[in-house]
Amino acid sequence: MMKTQMIILAGGSGERFGGNIPKQFVKIAGKTIIEHTIAQIERSDEIDSMIIVVHERFYDYMNDLILANHFSKVKKVIVGGASRQESSYAGICACDEDTENILFHDAIRPFVSERILRDCVEALKTYDAIDVAIPCADTIIQVDDAGIIEDVPKRKYLRRGQTPQGFKLPVIKEAYRRFFEDGNVEVTDDCGIVRHYGLADIYVVDGSEQNIKITYHEDIYLADKLFQIHSVEAGPAGMEMQDVYKGLQDKAGVVIGAGSGIGADIVRLLSEHDCRVFGYSRKTGCDICKTEQIDAALKDSYEKCGKIDYVINTAGLLQIGKLESMTEDDILRLIHTDYTGAVNLTKASLPYLTETKGSLILFTSSSYTRGRALYSLYSSSKAAIVNFAQAMAEETIGDGVRINVMNPERTDTPMRRSNFGNEPKDTLLDSVTVAEATIRTLLAEYTGQVIDIRRGGSK
């Protein structure tokens, strides 16, 4: 198996960004940009370890961030040089002797996806050098010193470069040996050096519009929105469901909203695989809107097992219609069921989950990203759940509690059928698929994430 190391370049001074702090250490969504970047790569099965290259002034600060986040794949933090090339070479020299592939990635690209990383590593099985790029949507013009157009290249051949860039280790080592020996070669990135010396064909892996580089202050606003809607695959990736169930057999959990649909499927599947799980619903006298009933359910489960490792809330209410047609009771019932009930459940669950460093899973809906006519309360409540979970994930990360949100596509459940009737089955997710994705997420190490569940697989 090929060993792949990631070199994260974080030695920039941030001059284009402005201010006294380099942009990789600016906070968005409660963490520095570089923390988000490392966390994204930490989750990837494709990357064996990371080397972080920083400016000497931030060496100790970077190590503190690594320790605070318990990043297990960061092998070392090293000091870079005065240029990107010197920093890249420092990373190359720090690689393990048995490393075959290395990837260079900008610290200020926190949205690199698992798909991109997977495609990069797969491409390096065939090619000695790879780049990541996306098609150019705008027409590019070439001008002379006077600002007169000299050429308009064909857009279909143009790409906008991103990172990672990847190489077989001997290839990039040789490129840098020649680069520093020559001393006057002008290039902007690592692929440019390899191409300058003709050491390998450079294959282009498809990037993503979301894989943005946070360079200017304006980019912060876009990044903040992307973090709000950012999603990951149900995890842990690559683990078979049978192994997931085995990993949960020594755990004890609670499912609220287990009377039907997804909640009932979660309880059934866990019970069938000898997992200790307790399901509660209004049918069993546990209404998510009533704090005293939630407290009683959690206490009852705790007394039976002596611990609670996870809590899952699938309780929900969907009422379609114009706001003017709803009574005050309708409004309060929906908000209490879909939002404040989840808030109260979270508060009640935290003492138990802190004790076990456990997992809390809430549910949103695909309508949370944009308010829709006739769904005003439902959509806004589901958006509130996402923001609430992300905020609570940051509050509780030091306690080891993981809080994530499942975001299923339209799903075949009794609640949906009561609102929409009998829809074609092939247009809906099966509730068992959602239940399995939720169960998988219980063992995931990430927190504060939205997990999309789509027909044909997560994300």
**Contact present, 348 and 301 (Cβ < 8 Å):** no
**How far is 121 from 100, CA to CA, in rounded Å?**
11
3-state secondary structure of 158: coil
Residues 6+ apart with CB under 8 A from 163: 104, 105, 106, 109, 112, 132
- Give the Å distances, CA to CA, from 234 to 9, 43, 228: 28, 11, 17
Roughly how many angstroms between the first and final C-alpha of the chain, as a whole number? 27
Is the domain spanning 232-458 CATH 3.40.50.970? The answer is: no
Decide: 258 and 435 in contact? Cβ < 8 Å: no
Q: Assess whether the previous peptide bond of 164 is cis (omega < 30° from 0).
A: yes
Q: Please report, in tens digits, the pLDDT of each residue of the chain (459 residues total).
A: 789 999 999 987 655 555 568 899 998 877 899 999 999 999 899 999 999 999 999 999 999 999 988 899 999 999 999 999 999 999 999 999 999 999 999 999 999 999 999 999 999 999 999 999 999 999 999 999 999 999 999 999 999 999 999 999 999 999 999 999 998 889 999 999 999 999 999 999 999 999 999 988 889 888 888 887 777 778 776 689 999 999 999 999 999 999 999 999 999 999 999 999 999 999 999 999 999 999 999 999 999 999 999 999 999 999 899 999 999 999 999 999 999 999 999 999 999 999 999 999 999 998 898 888 999 999 999 999 999 999 999 899 889 999 999 999 999 898 888 888 888 888 889 999 999 999 999 998 888 889 999 876 544
Q: In the prediction, which pLDDT does 417 show?
A: 87
Would you say 419 and 376 are in contact if contact means Cβ atoms under 8 Å apart? no
The structure's pTM equals: 0.77
pLDDT value at position 224? Answer: 83
Domains 4-229 and 232-458 share a fold: no
**Could you tell me which residues come within 8 angstroms of residue 444 by beta carbon, excluding any fewer than 6 positions away?**
234, 235, 236, 359, 402, 404
Enumerate residues 6+ apart whose C-beta is below 8 A from 50. 5, 6, 7, 8, 38, 41, 42, 71, 73, 74, 75
User: What's the rounded Cα separation, in Å, for the pair 228 and 75?
Assistant: 30
Q: Measuring CA to CA, how many Å separate 181 from each of 49, 176, 177, 198?
A: 30, 8, 6, 16
Identify the CA nearest to 438 among candidates 233, 260, 230: 233
Return the residue matching tokens 């001997």: 170
Q: What is the pLDDT of residue 459?
A: 46
Sign of CA dihedral 100, 101, 104, 107: negative
Kindly calculate the radius of gyration of the chain based on its CA atoms and give it in whole angstroms.
Answer: 25
Domain coordinates of the chain in residue numbers?
A: 4-229, 232-458
Domain 4-229 has CATH 3.40.50.150: no
Structure tokens at 296: 């009683």
